């Protein structure tokens, strides 16, 4: 079984983003970029399935500017076998991403596609579900455990109130939650080896996909900031303030 994993290049997890002065977007110039953390979990899960003999090949896919090749190299250094870059000037909306991934999936015929449940830049949490819909495949979103048994995926999902386990026929879509695994760091020898692994470059035009955006970003603003309050010296003072000043207990 071939596994396709989708990796997005995003502003690094540890960066506190700033809104641009003209309110057109957040500032991404000169900011550290990394693989979306949920996508690292997706890559790791694919590698573990391959290590258990359940997958034959892992193809990593990224969509966006040429610099996304770096994100693909990271996936290759972790253990993916080859990369596909769909190159375009900007990272498109989830609907367009889902259409592009569908087009790649139709060429590659994977048995499983694993994606992060959300990207930490737009926080949409939509691409996996949309891709599943477009392919007509079942979906196991927010996965915290994945097993492949007899050509089906048994997936445990993080839901409101606890956990739920579903059985999905393959091919299927999995989106990763935090508890699925802890991604490995790429070793230096593997980083060197990854340089020799192939990355194919495609375009939306070559895949015949319309990526025109549906949403217009009118403005980006800072959220109202909270002012730091006061420090209290004792538990008694805290309780007194909560009762008499804040009146919340």
Which residues, numbered 18-77, are part of the site for other proteins (CB under 8 A)? 19, 26, 38
Helix (H) or strand (E) holding 100: helix 94-108
Length of the chain: 249
Pairing assessment for the beta strands 199-202 and 82-87 based on DSSP bridges? parallel
Residue number, 206 or 220, with CB nearest to other proteins? 220
Q: For the CA atoms of 134, 136, 138, 139, what is the dihedral angle to 10 degrees?
A: 0
**Rounded to a whole number, what is the distance in angstroms from the first to the last CA of the chain?**
58
- The interface with other proteins within residues 110-129 (CB under 8 A) comprises 117-118, 120-127, 129
30, 96, 117, 120, 189 from 123: Cα distances, Å: 21, 16, 9, 5, 34
- The interface with other proteins within residues 139-158 (CB under 8 A) comprises 139-142, 144, 154, 157-158
- The interface with other proteins within residues 168-197 (CB under 8 A) comprises 168-169, 172, 177-179
Query: Which residue of 33, 166, 191, 199 would you call a contact of other proteins, by CB under 8 A?
Result: 166
Candidate ranges 41-49, 79-87, 88-96, 183-191; the one touching other proteins (CB under 8 A): 88-96
The rounded distance, in Å, linking the Cα atoms of 222 and 109 is 43
Candidate ranges 43-51, 65-73, 83-91, 215-223; the one touching other proteins (CB under 8 A): 215-223
Candidate ranges 14-22, 43-51, 60-68, 186-194; the one touching other proteins (CB under 8 A): 14-22
DSSP character string of 11-39: E-TT----B-TTSSSB--TT--EEE-HHH
Residue number, 188 or 230, with CB nearest to other proteins? 230
Taking the complex as a whole, the smallest distance from the CB of residue 49 to other proteins amounts, in Å, to 19
């Amino acid at each position: 079984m071939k596994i396709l994993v989708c990796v997005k290049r995003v502003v690094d997890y540890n960066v506190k983003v700033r809104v641009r002065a003209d309110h057109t977007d957040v500032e991404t110039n000169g900011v550290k970029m990394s693989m979306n953390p949920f996508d690292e979990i997706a890559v790791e899960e694919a590698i573990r399935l391959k290590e258990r003999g359940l997958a034959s090949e892992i193809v990593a896919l990224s969509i966006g500017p040429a610099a996304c090749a770096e994100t693909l190299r990271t996936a290759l250094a972790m253990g993916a076998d080859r990369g596909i870059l769909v190159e375009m000037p900007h990272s498109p909306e989830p609907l367009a991403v889902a259409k592009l991934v569908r087009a790649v999936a139709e060429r590659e015929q994977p048995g499983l596609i694993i994606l992060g449940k959300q990207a930490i830049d737009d926080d949409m949490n939509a691409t996996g579900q949309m891709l599943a819909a477009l392919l007509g495949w079942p979906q196991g979103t927010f996965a915290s455990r994945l097993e492949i048994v007899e050509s089906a995926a048994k997936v445990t999902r993080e839901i409101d109130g606890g956990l739920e386990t579903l059985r999905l026929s393959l091919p299927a879509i999995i989106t990763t939650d935090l508890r699925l695994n802890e991604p490995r760091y790429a070793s230096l020898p593997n980083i060197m080896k990854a340089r020799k692994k192939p990355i194919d470059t495609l375009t939306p035009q070559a895949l015949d996909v319309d990526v025109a955006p549906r949403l217009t970003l009118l403005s980006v603003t800072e959220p109202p900031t909270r002012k730091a309050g006061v420090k209290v010296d004792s538990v008694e003072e805290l309780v007194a303030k909560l009762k008499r000043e804040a009146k919340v207990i």
